[in-house]
Amino acid sequence: MDRTNQVYEGKAKKVFATTDPEIYVVEYKDDATAFNGLKKGTIAGKGVINNRVTNHLMRLIEDNGIPTHYVRQISDRETAVRKVKIIPIEVIVRNIAAGSLSKRLGLPEGTKLSSTVLEYCYKDDELGDPMINEYHIKAMGLASEEELRLIADYSFRINRILCGYLQDLKIELIDFKLEFGKTSDGTVILADEISPDTCRFWDTETGEKLDKDRFRRDLGHVEDAYQEILRRLMGA
């Protein structure tokens, strides 16, 4: 299986076709953006860390019975994944108020939500990924009712798997974003990445932010935070 032409370049990753029609290769970049591309920068070593962190968590999720696109890591920055058509919905899972939810609802960051909140956003950069609900998803034909039920069920289960695992590493999972895709036979599987770019991770004891908010909010020690997440996950 060899990498052939590039099929997509996003803000943090490139995707390549391969000689196997069912397999893509993802390459993680050090580029970082925030606020819908308004803030741009690089985080040295981020691509290598996000590749490893994502694969570690994808394997954990797969081992717990949820299908993912993960196939195998190829190099520091590259991973072979199952080819999917991405469902244009970002699923946000929230355990504790932060970011846009805090702003929208006036809940101070760090407020524990008494039950897990699921939100959906329509994946469209030009529109700034607007929040949508089940009715929009159905009306726009973004996913069928059955697919959406599965996506919601998987998202809650992934939340429980990740929260339990990270708790032992003294990492609090505040919120995160998931994307799902469909394989050529229509199976819905978890795709994209799960990393400090797409999750809020707070140190359980100190509350220190160990994620992309350090970049978004110019908190400093961005690289150190990403490195610390990798270190805890790898048990080093």
Residues within the interface to ligand UDP (CB under 6 A) = 90, 92, 98-101, 129, 175-177, 198-200, 212
- Nearest approach in angstroms of CB 20 to ligand UDP is 28
Residue 26 C-beta: closest distance to ligand UDP, Å: 16
C-alpha–C-alpha distance, residues 217 and 181, integer Å? 31
The residue behind tokens 């590749």 is: 51
Please report, for residues 9, 87, 148, 179, 204, the alpha-carbon distance to residue 189 in angstroms, rounded to integers and kept in the order given: 21, 10, 12, 9, 30
Nearer to ligand UDP, 52 or 177 (CB): 177
